Amino acid sequence: MYQPRQNPTRLDAKAILSDPLRNKGTAFTDEERDRLGLHGLLPSHVSTMDGQIERRIAVLRAFSTPFEKYAFLRDLQDTNETLFYALLARHRSELLPLVYTPTVGEACVRFSEIYRRARGLFLSYPLKGRLKQILADLPFDEVQVICATDGERILGLGDQGAGGMGIPIGKLSLYTDCAGIDPARTMPILLDTGTDNEALLGNPLYVGWRHRRVRGSEYDDFIEEFVEAVRERWPHAMLQWEDFAGPNAVSLLDRYRHRLPSFNDDIQGTAATALAAILAAERLAGIDLAERNILLFGAGAAGCGIAGLILGELERRGLSREGALDRLYAVDRDGLLIENVNVTTLNQALFARPQSEADDWLASGQAPSLIEAIQRAQPAVLIGTSGQFAAFDRPVVEAMAKHNDRPIILPLSNPAIRAEASAADVQAWSDGRAIIGTGSPSQGRDGTVTQVNNVYIFPGIGLGALVSGAQTITDAMFAEAAECLASLSLHDDGGALFPPTDRLAEVADTIALAVCHVAERDLGALAPLDGWEKAIARHRWAPAYRDLLPG
């Protein structure tokens, strides 16, 4: 029987081509092919990276649907990561909606369908008691940024189980593209504690743990074990909590934010992005937020996070805590939040209208609806984080426009099938007067509307935290990030609230610098002798092929 000879050079050559961080595809030079034993494993053509980018973008544009394009890009990322990021940097505005929102929503729903190669860690509940050993055995020594989810609240799509892994993969891709974090130092993690999605449990293609969600103390103990395993394996890594259900999102943030550098992007990142949009819109509208009311529709973790950051902004402007709270109105599924009437969480309690107002608000016997609250409070700003499609209908928008020359309307829920309104409808119903920001990419009557997406905030937060060595990621960092982003607004560019996405690397650097200064001021971080700017620049990874030749 024929026994193939084991040629060490050949084995190493196949390992190089199978490693997305070392593979160059057709860009390996003749010398590299000679010395690494690659001849015969590649076509004879030697390409440049520019040539590879031209070929890949042409192929991508030939696909007919965003999901097909997403699958193509994921395959490229898993085979040649350097080329993937070079392509993304070259065509960021075109590819960002494919790599992340809105296409990533469908990608999570169909994750099991397109799963091909291992990326990141799937830590399922049956592995409980073994997490430290599993992490210790993995060949990942330089991890700096971790993004973890349990897949229970994916965007506005709900429980996607193991399919939620698409979110950490996408988020970390943006850390690399925007903030220059070396992809070898990123780690997406799916904490698979089961799913209550009946369609997934009955789907023979589903790749996750086929079990209903673990909850209560069993869930808490599993997360505790995970955090301790991370602290032991990667003691200097930053952890981003992503797309956990509201109660877990809040409790995990409170429990762990001071035990390891961590934050919840759905709460804090969303809040900073929304505040930045409001600050930019405030200047466009020519108003003073301290003198106007603000209404939030959707009082879950994200909505309350936004309210909290706005509250801090109003207090910084000189309002008392009581005066600042008086400017905020929150409407949830049971109407306007009123103390001792329809409040279900501690976070909601802070922003509920006081009991002293109850009789006035409850004149009809029930809490006011969204439209009723707008008609009575006459807010200048309306923010949507409800996930309720088309909640900002024509009467709602017209009510906002009736009381404001330039109403600020931010339907932030995504994907688009969960958005409170489309930009085109808001423009039409407000006679073109509304200042609009949307959670997913959106087209208005006159072109693209500002996407108020967390990608403008979290890469800079992470980069600044890493460069400064901050052991705690503070609320002050997010407040400063919001101020920075608002200051970068290009109001001479069609009234855009944020810079265009092709400037996201610049945005990340600016926010990272602000975070470093906060860490220095509040946490005692020591600035390098040559300054924070140089330190940020040194930390950046660029998508360029490395020399793999020995010697």
Give the 3-state DSSP-derived string for 67-100, with helices as H, strands as E and coil as C: HHHHHHHHHHHHHCHHHHHHHHHHCHHHHHHHHC
Tens-digit pLDDT profile for residues 360-393: 888 777 899 999 999 999 999 999 999 999 999 9
Q: Select which of 171, 206, 256, 545 is catalytic.
A: 171
* pLDDT of res. 86: 98
* pLDDT of res. 366: 86
Tens-digit pLDDT profile for residues 273-321: 999 999 999 999 999 999 999 999 999 989 999 999 999 999 999 999 9
Q: Assess whether 171 carries a catalytic annotation.
A: yes
* pLDDT of res. 365: 75
3-state secondary structure at position 60: helix
Radius of gyration of the chain from Cα atoms? 24
Note whether 361 and 367 are within 8 A (CB): yes
Q: Select which of 70, 85, 100, 456 is catalytic.
A: 100
* pLDDT of res. 6: 47
Q: Tally helices (H) and strands (E) across the chain.
A: 25, 13
Spatial distance between the Cα atoms of 344 and 325, rounded to a whole number of angstroms: 18
Angle in degrees, 0-180, between the axes of helices 81-90 and 92-99, rounded to the nearest 10? 120
Note whether 45 and 85 are within 8 A (CB): no
* pLDDT of res. 361: 86
* pLDDT of res. 10: 57
* pLDDT of res. 51: 98
pTM: 0.93
pLDDT tens string, the chain, 551 residues long: the values are: 434 444 445 558 899 999 999 999 999 999 999 999 999 999 999 999 999 999 999 999 999 999 999 999 999 999 999 999 999 999 999 999 999 988 999 999 999 999 999 899 999 999 999 999 999 999 899 999 999 999 999 988 999 999 999 999 999 999 999 999 999 999 999 999 999 999 999 999 999 999 999 999 999 999 999 999 999 999 999 999 999 998 899 999 999 999 999 999 999 999 999 999 999 999 999 999 999 999 999 999 899 999 999 999 999 999 999 999 999 999 999 999 999 899 988 889 999 999 888 888 887 778 999 999 999 999 999 999 999 999 999 999 999 999 999 999 999 998 888 899 999 999 999 999 999 999 988 877 766 678 899 999 999 999 999 999 999 999 999 999 999 999 997 554 567 899 999 999 999 999 999 999 999 999 999 999 999 999 999 999 999 999 988 76
Note whether 420 and 452 are within 8 A (CB): no
Length of the chain: 551
The vertex-154 CA angle with 488 and 202, nearest 5°, equals: 160
* Residue type present at position 504: L
3-state secondary structure at position 294: strand
* pLDDT of res. 3: 46
Could you tell me which of 105, 511, 82, 541 has the C-alpha nearest to residue 268?
A: 511
Spatial distance between the Cα atoms of 234 and 269, rounded to a whole number of angstroms: 23
**How many C-beta atoms surround the C-beta of residue 495 within 10 A?**
17
* pLDDT of res. 11: 57
Quote the tokens at residue 346.
């501690």
Kindly give the residue spans of alpha helices, DSSP state H, lying in 412-474.
Answer: 423-429, 458-468
The H or E element spanning position 410 is strand 408-411
* pLDDT of res. 355: 84
Spatial distance between the Cα atoms of 385 and 400, rounded to a whole number of angstroms: 17
Quote the tokens at residue 447.
């072109």
How far is C-alpha 167 from the chain's CA centre? 8
Kindly give the residue spans of alpha helices, DSSP state H, lying in 378-457.
Answer: 394-402, 423-429
Please list, in sequence order, all residues whose beta carbon lies within 8 angstroms of the beta carbon of residue 416, skipping any fewer than 6 positions away. 102, 422, 440, 442
The vertex-283 CA angle with 277 and 286, nearest 5°, equals: 130
Q: Assess whether 70 carries a catalytic annotation.
A: no
